[in-house]
Amino acid sequence: LLQYTRGTVTAFAPFDARADAEALRKAMKGLGTDEETVLTILTTRNNAQRQEIASAFKTLFGRDLVDDLKSELTGKFETLMVSLMRPAYIFDAHALKHAIKGAGTNEKVLTEILASRTPAEVQNIKQVYLQEYEANLEDKITGETSGHFQRLLVVLLQANRDHDAGVDEALVEQDAQVLFRAGELKWGTDEEKFITILGTRSISHLRRVFDKYMTISGFQIEETIDRETSGDLEKLLLAVVKCVRSVPAYFAETLYYSMKGAGTDDDTLIRVMVSRSEVDLLDIRREFRKNFAKSLYQTIQKDTSGDYRKALLLLCGGDDD
């Protein structure tokens, strides 16, 4: 398994699951909750350690830690703490399940997860989904989506992207020409060509295709997608292109827009901060600083408040100014 080392949250040492469990119980027992203790422990232990704490908590007190957090905490702070307690391998499957249940589908979540995860991660999500929810993720997604948006999701769910081998310049040229003809040169875009090429070619190949596309057409591929497509398909195609270019840059932008303007998209902010905290949040912070001329830390500080803010800033792990 690929070991990520660009996260802000790493294994805490010296770690004592029982001591942490006792401290959490004390923090939530009786009148009023000591939120500071709760947030400090949960944001500074990694996910595997949080699972050990939950297990110690049950052993010592016969209580479920997540249930206690839910009954003692409220609002966004509660959502964040409960999200931190979700086992890492279940996190994406759970997010997808909630994105496709009930009235209305949350296309934003489907787009963000399926565009950014590696083929190995997507295979894992499908297996976990089946084990946890006794349902086929692809069936669930096709039942709730339609058109070219659905088709690109299905292609991504196959997790059969070509492996990064040596780049074949002739194929690069050919793909770039096909995309150019399908997009800029044709009335009505041939979306299928975009879906096949963007959904199946290797990352290093696609990066070369994007450069070649720019040479041939005079446009960045993002500009063509923006002009020629719309709605959920456009957002998904753009997310795939951005993740091919740089996953951390894609998440930096996602975080930026979750906090830009009036009101915060807290679900996205929480989902990205939690899911990337042990993966590449250091890289995301660097891209954020580079692309938006301010630090992620300061942006969170300005946009949130209370214990929720304290916990997010601890997850952020520092400032970049």
pLDDT tens digits for range 61-89: 999 999 999 999 999 999 999 999 999 99
pLDDT at residue 30 in the model:
84
Q: Same domain for 174 and 240?
A: yes
**Could you give the CA distance from residue 123 to residue 244 in angstroms, rounded to a whole number?**
18
- Domain assignment present for residue 27? The answer is yes
Q: Same domain for 174 and 224?
A: yes
Question: Helix 266-276 and helix 281-292: axis angle, to 10°?
Answer: 130
Please write the tens of the pLDDT for every residue from 228-266: 999 999 999 999 999 999 999 999 999 999 999 878 999
Q: Same domain for 229 and 194?
A: yes
CATH number at residue 195: 1.10.220.10
Q: Same domain for 29 and 50?
A: yes
**Could you give the CA distance from residue 98 to residue 246 in angstroms, rounded to a whole number?**
27
Q: What is the pTM of this model?
A: 0.94
pLDDT, mean of residues 217-226: 95
Does position 102 have pLDDT exceeding 80, yes or no? no
pLDDT at residue 103 in the model:
67
Q: Among 107, 132, 158, where does a domain finish? A: 158
pLDDT at residue 31 in the model:
82
pLDDT at residue 1 in the model:
42
Give how many domains the chain has, as a whole number.
4
Neighbours of 17 (CB within 10 A): 19
pLDDT at residue 189 in the model:
78
Average pLDDT, the chain: 94
pLDDT at residue 105 in the model:
80
**Could you give the CA distance from residue 139 to residue 152 in angstroms, rounded to a whole number?**
14
For residue 33, give the H/E element and its range. none
Of the two residues 2 and 69, the one the predictor is more confident about is: 69
Identify residue 178 by its one-letter amino acid code: V
**Could you give the CA distance from residue 167 to residue 164 in angstroms, rounded to a whole number?**
8
Please write the tens of the pLDDT for every residue from 274-312: 999 999 999 999 999 999 999 999 999 999 999 999 999
